[in-house]
Structure 1
Amino acid sequence: MQRRAFLHILSVAVAGAGMLCAQALAADAFPGKPVRILVGFSPGGSNDIVARLIAPKLAEGLGQQVMVENRPGAGGNIAVSALLSAPADGHTLLMCTTGTLSIQPHLVKSMPFDPEKDLVAVTQIIDAPYMLMVNARLPVSTVQELVAYARNRPGELNFASSGAGTGSHLAGEMLKSRTGIDIVHIAYKGTGQAMADVLEGAVSMIFDQPVSSMQYARAGKLRALAVAGPKRLAAFPEVPTVMEAGIAEFEPVTWSGICAARNTPPAAIERIQREIAKVLAMPGIARRLVQDGLEPVGSTPARFHDFLVANKRTWGKVIESTDLKPE
């Protein structure tokens, strides 16, 4: 009996050592080919800009080419479908966003995927507050002036978003519900397309992340009225918050991160997270993100997962405060 027990313990130890060796080999083997980061929106938006900012340095860390592919449409769901159609080996990743994972589950009755079952959290890249931008020809300089102007012209002003059910859409709906103004939502397939029409004046305003819009404000083509977050941004201290304008509890802060498909090997996920965290800690990258009004994060998979659960609940409460209903 003692010999049999010893052999059992020995076999368990050998099996455990084998698993550890296999995991080590998997970590060493990944990546074995170029890595793709899928962005669910058209070029020129904040997610696209951030993905392309980190891709070259991530490629150096991984020792493989890192390509950014835009798969715009359906509020990011087309990119999710492309991710889930690819092998779950870590070589195809998703630039996951607030709209796709935290907002749409509350607004779409029949989601084409289950965020909690089909995706795996890898790391949060940034926190990204929105700024309320208006076309420079619109005769308003503050949020209070915008609200008064819109009240005198019900249904005449419109606001752009990077897609129905995205954070920029919800921020506009929050402004409507909190102030009682009547402005019309126009959805695009990404920030780049939306911004083009705001710049031309075909659309009056947009809630956008500074990284993709402040260049136009500095050039005098847009006017930054307020930060839709809990505090002013260090990069733009002169721009007040929406709450400073008297609109209480207006904090639709968004985020971007990296997700992988279910069943992606843990060793690959850990390697990707580790390399992205290194990139975000590089002084040049961190400085660029902060200058663009973004906050680098680089969280662990476990911490990002917990954040996603809480953030989905937060946005559910935001949606309850608007007139939006699931469709």
Structure 2
Amino acid sequence: MHRIISTALCSLFVVAAGAFAQSWPTKPIRVYLPQPPGSGVDIILRKAFEEIQPRLGQAMVMENRPGGNSVVASEACAKAAPDGHTLCVLNTDPLVSNPLLYSKLPYDADRELRPITNLYYILTGVFVKSAVPVGSMKELETYAKAKPGVLNTGTFGPRSSLDMSRLFLGDKWNTGITGIPYPGGPQIFNALAAGDIDMAALGAYGGLSLIKSGKVKLLAVSGSRRLAMFPEVPTLAELGLGDFPSGHSWWGLLGPSGMSDVVTQRLNAEFVRTFREPKFAAFLADLITEPNVGTPEQFAALIRSDRERVAKLIKQYKWTME
């Protein structure tokens, strides 16, 4: 009798799950993003939404929540109803660095957020304003050592990956570099172009127009090989800076932890399909980014492995929690 009841309950669950999958989504899907409109990730996601919305039959609405080292957007996503109508696209800061560097967070990256798929890697460029009299990372090191604490760089706030890169270079070069916080990448590039800050380490695409206009210089890039459009610019790995924190950045899709397997797999399938399409991959290449999608399990493993890597850096350089 118990076996019959159990079988019946399982059947009902399967039917209910199938019905939910067919009915979802029933309203527009909100996607929280901790970067402002016009940022690289914002541009990429809006393009992806154009491809995915017709297949889902509902709009995907961007909710830009920049600032606070991604805490605001992460918390909003983590505390949302897990019905598949609220998602977030986050990077290494809220998922990897924040849990290690902040003793108190209003969200739990492991318990309250469910990985859906990683999306793409960011190829980072190290830029300086044109007025800084250097033409290489070695010359920048010499310049920074000659004026401890005078060289400054844009960050997303204390303990962001950009701030960790500041500390990393300062420790490597045995000198001080001052961090200037901004809410997002576009604001940092604007400040760099205006001469308000000396350097920045951000997605390489964002600085292309500034390089062409002569307002900034590109000294190094992340990735395993040099950029085809800047073959003279070395990689960070070539310079012995392979652990540069901003050189290991990516963006991924998540939802609240209670979201169903059915919705998680559907979202995974839609985003993986889009990011693997040749036309979309070409679009990403023009933005100097590399698609990197996979299963929810692979994304979760990436978060764990990157957190282990950053934890070693924190221990090595004795960075403290706030």
Q: TM-score, normalised by structure 2?
A: 0.93
Task: For 1:246 and 1:316, locate their aligned partners in 2 and report how far apart those are by CA, in whole Å.
Answer: 20
Are the counterparts in 1 of residues 114 and 257 from structure 2 also a CA contact under 8 Å? yes
Amino acid at match of 1:58: I
User: CA 1:190 to 1:117, structure 2 compared with 1: closer, same or farther past 3 Å?
Assistant: same
Secondary structure in 2 matching 1:243 = coil
- 1:76 maps to what in 2? 70
Q: 1:160 matched to which residue of 2?
A: 154
Number of the residue aligned with 1:261:
256
Relative distance call for 1:290 and 1:248 in structure 2 (3 A) is closer
Match of 2:317 among 311, 319, 322: 322
| One-letter amino acid of the structure 1 residue matched with residue 304 of structure 2 | V
Contact 1:170/1:319, CA 8 A, preserved across alignment: no
Deviation at 1:197, TM superposition (A): 0.9
Q: Given that residues 35 and 185 in structure 2 are in contact (C-alpha distance below 8 angstroms), is that contact kept between their aligned partners in structure 1?
A: yes
Partner residue of 1:28 out of 10, 19, 22 = 22
**Pair 79,230 (structure 1): closer, same or farther in 2 beyond 3 Å:** same
Gaps of 5+ in 1: 1-6
In structure 1, what is the equivalent of residue 135 of structure 2? Answer: 141
- Is 2:171 the counterpart of 1:177? yes
Shift of 1:21: 1.5
Equivalent residue, structure 2, for 1:86:
80
The alignment partner of 1:14 has SS state of helix
Distance change in 2, residues 1:234/1:253 (3 Å): farther
- Distance between the aligned counterparts of 2:215 and 2:39, measured in 1? 17
1:4 paired residue number: none
Find the counterpart in structure 2 of residue 114 from structure 1: 108
Q: Which runs of 5+ in 2 are unaligned?
A: none
1-side partners of 2:273 and 2:242: how far apart?
37
How high is the sequence identity, in percent, across the aligned residues?
A: 28
C-alpha separation in 1, matches of 2:213 and 2:61: 31
Alignment of 1:95-110 (within 5 A): 95-110=89-104
Relative distance call for 1:233 and 1:170 in structure 2 (3 A) is: farther
Give the superposition deviation at 1:249: 4.4
Q: State the 1:117 CA deviation.
A: 0.6
**Whole-Å Cα distance in 2 between the matches of residues 276 and 78 of structure 1?**
24
Identify if the C-alpha distance between structure 1 residues 282 and 179 changes in structure 2 by more than 3 Å, giving closer, same or farther.
Answer: same
Give the superposition deviation at 1:248: 5.9
Q: Are 1:143 and 1:242, in contact at CA under 8 Å, matched by a contact in 2? A: no
Could you tell me whether the CA contact under 8 Å between 1:125 and 1:257 is conserved in 2?
yes
Task: Give the SS at the match of 1:244.
Answer: coil
- Report the CA distance between 1:230 and its aligned residue: 4.1
Q: Please list, as runs of the form range in 1=range in 2, the aligned pairs for 1:197-208 lying within 5 A after superposition.
A: 197-208=191-202
- In structure 2, do the counterparts of structure 1 residues 236 and 276 end up closer, same or farther at CA, with 3 Å as the change threshold? farther
Q: CA deviation at 1:235?
A: 5.7
Contact 2:116 2:299 in 1 (8 A): yes
Tell me how far 1:246 sits from its aligned partner: 4.4
2:226 to 229, 232, 236: 232
Counterpart amino acid of 1:124? N
Moved more, 222-231 or 140-149: 222-231
Separation in structure 2 between the aligned mates of residue 179 and residue 229 of structure 1, nearest angstrom: 22
CA RMSD for the aligned pairs? 1.9
The one-letter amino acid of 1:205's match is: M
2:135 & 2:118 partners in 1: Cα distance? 34
